[in-house]
Chain A
């Protein structure tokens, strides 16, 4: 259901309040009226409103003074105020806008015009709120409530300022890149590039040119010079994820870079000096690999100057709920849905689960829960379990079942608002209509 926006109308003329209240309710707003400016200020201290419509001339307090009160309050300054002016006194209205009013409207009021201004003000205010939330979300570096993670954060604080090489280990999905980024952010290189490469995700044949770059004519197809990622990271940090996947011949070349602080692009006979901090990460046991001859011992020691081991999520249960809450905020923002809370049952589920996929699995699980849950309470987080209980049937049959369920939930959630459903699902409106027809889903 679409949330009704709450509007507080303040005017000393009670009849005008009544008439405006009746009319604005018809536009779908939730209306409260107040004929005293002082009472309105009091009401604002304990009730939430999305917008204030304020008469400019009030017996107790002038509109401008009222706006100053609102805008000086950290709790109320985000509420847009529309001034209703009747004296044809545009100067006062302009002054009110200078003090922070969103807009003004002259009496007698044209309701269609007023509704347009209200919509603009609410859109603007919701954008402002989103930007603020985005800033809040993205200003969080790491969630560390457990003693283990707090220790790691303290360790990072001490080693980040130096250029020492770091080797981060831990199971897949524990957040090794998050830690690498935090080291970069806390270092004196923070204003320079942070370049990440997943050594396991790039085909062996391309990895060398990706890392070292090449010069024109180095091989067929090298029609121009290309900088490698090591050079791209010059002055900053290069994060080598899944370093255990690096082929032996490239391990030698990387070792040279670490020792000499210079690179030589493929096909070039000149070396280039570089200034890069290296952070590597792996979910493999490199020491074992060294013993088996799969990883160079000298490179291992070069990388493992400062080792940081991130424990799996199941060993630091204190982080689970704070991480889940953070992801809920993030995905509610992403999918433009009202913020949701975890029920006691959901928290218990989270704490009892084993989290073999670590933080990444938790993130995906929460994303699913945010999309699928109706209302503002998440009661079932382990939605994966439900799908796992299905009997394995032919792919197309299961795909259709998923599509139908997904669409039904999506449309119920959006109250059959196709535009919103399209935005959330990433499908076009036409695709949604086609699927509705296919599965005979009607309002």
Chain B
């Protein structure tokens, strides 16, 4: 969905458009897709604030972005977002000084700085303890409500997925074997319509034990 790869077969559409980097309209839309890789991609020897401001680069002019001259309002915005993700008071720390959870908060702040409509995150909480993982997921769940964000995330923890997701798709050996919708305690099977909630819970508990 970040269009780094092209499918061999089939159709992918993002906001009803076929990904095409030569299409200006699509390219503009891509500015609003936030992507957090598993490695997070933070720059270690610059501050938290500077890392966050990188998310504003697509909005700036060519010269401004080349020399990283950020207008005051972007800096104010970045500080606001850092407060939102719980990094107030740590704006001027260097990124390498941060803990794993804090690094993820910076990566999320950088993605929010893009004003994303769509956020892609790869295994963002996989290396964290369960309490911190939930704190990070709460940030995304809050943004879903306040910014109407759509988040597509890859996890290996089914428990966490069921707690936060509206939909969960299970992929095994490249095939989608299960797709379920979650609404409170209710679990709905969207893939086949044949599985009972008990069977789904059974599948997921096996998955969690692995």
A, B co-complexed: no
